[in-house]
Amino acid sequence: MPAFRPPFRHFGARMTQDQLKQAVAQAAVDFILPKLDDKSIVGVGTGSTANCFIDALAKHKGAFDGAVASSEATAARLKGHGIPVYELNTVSDLEFYVDGADESDEHLNLIKGGGAALTREKIVAAVAKTFICIADASKLVPVLGAFPLPVEVIPMARSHVARQLVKLGGDPVYREGVLTDNGNIILDVFNMQITNPVELETQINAIVGVVTNGLFAARPADLLLLGTSEGVKTLKA
Ligand code: 5RP
């Protein structure tokens, strides 16, 4: 009779993607909390992982002053928890920006914008001293580009920008029915093997009509908290 083998239960092997998101969100809270005081304002990203972060952060709302939001959806969620939301223009000091990503490479260059909030995300990230990216393990890739690269575009420039993106080797697709918080449209660029993300970010941003693109490479994340079945791993740029 064969020996009884208990089912394989590697730590976290049964963790769902949602549980991994919650784990990295909690890890980000644990990382920033000791560094916050009652004057601190936290920059907060957009998306399902950022939502987990907001919910975890809200349990400590007395430990900091408030937040800057990277989207209307994030502002609403923060306010729903009773966290004061400040306009970025009124804030001079932002120690941390915490946000998810659609892809990250090992250098912490990111693709963002799956939730169409890329421009405000990039602005808040630019102001913050430390950008902490939180993501489940599926987001770490050897080369960026399997996830279509979002580009925010002024509506009247849509066709012009699309033609220029084709010249750069991509296949842009109009994201139907989506307007950004800034009133612009999104082109998702498929089939890009992004081996030089800084150069491509610059090239795309130079196209007239582009507001910005979802490559965060000129200003990558400083820290990536990655949720894996072995626990949360920390990667540094
Ligand atoms: C929104 C973003 C998000 O950070 C990105 O899409 C990841 O989202 P999620 O945490 O839901 O996977 O860039 O514009």
**How would residue 237 be classed by pLDDT, with cut points 50, 70 and 90?**
confident
**How would residue 4 be classed by pLDDT, with cut points 50, 70 and 90?**
very low
Distance 4 CA to ligand 1 centre (A): 43
**How would residue 6 be classed by pLDDT, with cut points 50, 70 and 90?**
very low
Q: Is 121 a catalytic residue?
A: yes
What pLDDT, on the 0 to 100 scale, is given for residue 31? 98
What pLDDT, on the 0 to 100 scale, is given for residue 233? 97
Query: pLDDT tens digit string along 61-91?
Result: 999 999 999 999 999 999 999 999 999 999 9
Q: Is 47 in the pocket of ligand 1 (CB under 6 A)?
A: yes
Q: What CA–CA distance (Å, rounded) separates 194 from 203?
A: 12
Distance 147 CA to ligand 1 centre (A): 12
Active-site choice (87, 95, 103, 121)? 121
Q: What CA–CA distance (Å, rounded) separates 25 from 33?
A: 12
**How would residue 13 be classed by pLDDT, with cut points 50, 70 and 90?**
low
User: What ligand 1 atom has the least distance to the C-alpha of 139?
Assistant: 12
What pLDDT, on the 0 to 100 scale, is given for residue 15? 85
Quote the percentage of the chain above a pLDDT of 70: 94
Q: Which residue has the least CA distance to atom 7 on ligand 1?
A: 101
8 pLDDT higher than 70 = no
Query: pLDDT tens digit string along 98-144?
Result: 999 999 999 999 999 999 999 999 999 999 999 999 999 999 999 99
Q: What CA–CA distance (Å, rounded) separates 196 from 25?
A: 29
Task: Name which of 3-17, 27-41, 67-81, 214-228 the model is least confident about.
Answer: 3-17
Q: Which residue has the least CA distance to atom 1 on ligand 1?
A: 115
Instruction: Over range 32-60, report the average pLDDT.
Output: 98
**How would residue 37 be classed by pLDDT, with cut points 50, 70 and 90?**
very high
Query: pLDDT tens digit string along 148-197?
Result: 999 999 999 999 999 999 999 999 999 999 999 999 999 999 999 899 99
What pLDDT, on the 0 to 100 scale, is given for residue 14? 64
